[in-house]
Amino acid sequence: MNLPKITDNQLITGECLFCGTGLRHTFVDLGMSPPCESYRSLKQLNEMEPFYPLHAYVCENCLLVQLQEYVSPENIFSDYAYFSSYSDSWLKHAKNYVDLVVERFQLNQESQVIEIASNDGYLLQYFVEKNIPALGIEPAANVAEVAIKKGIPTVVKFFGQETAKEQVAKGVKADLLLGNNVLAHTPYLNDFVKGMKIILKPQGVITMEFPHLMRLIDENQFDTIYHEHFSYFSFLTVEKIFATHGLTIFDVQELKSHGGSLRIYARHTEDHSKPVSEQVVELKAREEAAGFHKLEYYFSFGEQVKETKRKLLDFLIQAKREGKSIAGYGAPGKGNTLLNYCGIRTDFLDYTVDRSPYKQGQFLPGTHIPIFHPDKIQETKPDYVLILPWNLKDEIMSQISYIRDWGGKFVVPIPEVQIYS
């Protein structure tokens, strides 16, 4: 491989989460940012707030795009502010998934389903409705408590080899092991995948969903980079990681969720009952044709991100000069990356709203923009509503379509600024 010459800003800064190679190549540097779910109370606004580098690297050996572990998972996830059940479209996505896998893999009352990072039971509730045994493994006690109240057995622990062995010792192994948007959340990548191998029955199936790096790059989704997401996967790289630990990806689906995700289906490598699908072959070929197997491919993303920032600030500055009012909708992790990287505070965004009671009355990390109940939009009638969870824009524009009554417009910032009347 013909590698570029090391310059002063390409010094080795850490080791790859998968292969241990020294990291020296920047994918994108988003400056300093607070952890994206560290919402602030009124009392905390005058206290010191920690900021950490939001600097993504690409490994020159395995091409895994990743962040270093600036903030430990224990600090991020032990008391968590994200409850999956507050998104109607995400609940629908979960229910459709359950219907699909129950039929495809003939799951029944004799099967065992285990979900890693099961959150508030948003997905497992649909297995419980079908009388299929389900177990959640969730590190955030405050979120797990909600699932337990729904009647979903939940182990409050981080997942890895140790937790897997504990469950196996109790006689619990998975016919279906699933995880939605969790694979990217662990800095202990090898331990995590080894744990999946341990807890999976010989003929069992793993499904994992995570944002697809191809979509992140093609659609400029830099705001999906935050401290909770340690890894950003291409199919080529995730296949390599699973294969190293004795797991074979035999099928893949491309999903619209989270701006474009992959759902991979994996099995024990020694289980030959599930042949590798044409979808796997086709996606690998498409990624290789795009250049994902070459280090140089990853170097142009940073400039693309800077231009998106300039375009968003151009719009906001012009709108404010015209005396327009702008409110936000949502308080997602991606929104906090966007706002902190672009330096958008209450000088541009008057406030934001969120359906989660956990966030209402709090302030966004770093920018200290106040978070209200969605009714606030009806009260203040802003000229523009900036949709921060842009992946849910259709759902949100439907929920608050009434802003059109006073001539209000929607603003979607990614992949670049778009105005919807």
- What pLDDT is attached to residue 72? 64
Residue 2 is predicted with a pLDDT of 44
Distance, in Å, from the CA atom of 237 to the CA atom of 231, rounded to the nearest integer, reads 10
> Which residues are within 8 A (CB) of 222 and not within 5 positions of it... i.e. 6 or more apart?
28, 30, 216, 301, 305, 308, 337, 341
User: What is the average pLDDT value for the chain, to the nearest integer?
Assistant: 92
User: Position of tokens 């969903």?
Assistant: 209
pLDDT, one tens digit per residue, over 329-349 is 999 999 999 999 999 999 999
The CB density around residue 97, as the number of other CB atoms within 10 Å, is 19
Q: Residue 83 has which token pair? A: 């409850």
Cα distances (angstroms) measured from residue 69 to each of 50, 206, 213, 333, 382: 14, 26, 19, 17, 39
Q: Where in the chain is the domain with CATH 3.40.50.720?
A: 313-420
Q: What average pLDDT score do residues 53-74 get?
A: 88
Q: Where in the chain is the domain with CATH 3.40.50.150?
A: 84-290
Q: In 249-267, which positions are buried (b, 16+ CB within 10 angstroms) versus exposed (e)?
A: bbbbeebebbbbbbbbbbb
Count of residues making up the chain: 421
Q: How confident is the model at residue 69 (pLDDT cuts 50, 70, 90)?
A: confident
Note the pLDDT of residue 259: 77
Higher-pLDDT residue of 144 and 264 is 264
Nearest alpha-carbon partner for 316 in 259, 367, 257: 367
pTM: 0.87
Query: Residues 161-190: what's their mean pLDDT?
Result: 96
pLDDT for 165 beyond 50: yes
> What pLDDT is attached to residue 77?
52
Decide the pairing of beta strands 65-66 and 52-58: antiparallel
Answer yes or no: is pLDDT of 62 > 80.
yes
Identify the burial level of 353 via C-beta atoms within 10 angstroms of its C-beta, where 0-12 means exposed, 13-18 middle and 19 or more buried. Answer: buried
Model confidence at 8, pLDDT cuts 50, 70, 90, reads very low
pLDDT of amino acid 89: 79
Task: Report the share of the chain in percent with pLDDT over 70.
Answer: 93
Task: Give tens-digit pLDDT for 86-107.
Answer: 567 788 999 999 999 999 999 9
CATH class of 84-290: alpha beta
Q: What are phi and psi of 119, to 5 degrees?
A: 55, -135
Q: What's the angle, vertex CA 304, arms to CA 303 and CA 305, rounded to 5?
A: 90
Average pLDDT score over residue span 170-191: 95
Q: Give residue-wise pLDDT tens across range 234-251.
A: 999 999 999 999 999 999
Considering only CA atoms, give the Rg of the chain.
22
Partners of residue 253 on adjacent β-strands: 263
313-420 under CATH 3.40.50.10470, yes or no: no
Q: Report how far residue 324's alpha carbon sits from residue 334's, in angstroms, rounded to the nearest whole number.
A: 24
Tell me: cis bond preceding 139? Omega within 30 of 0 counts: no
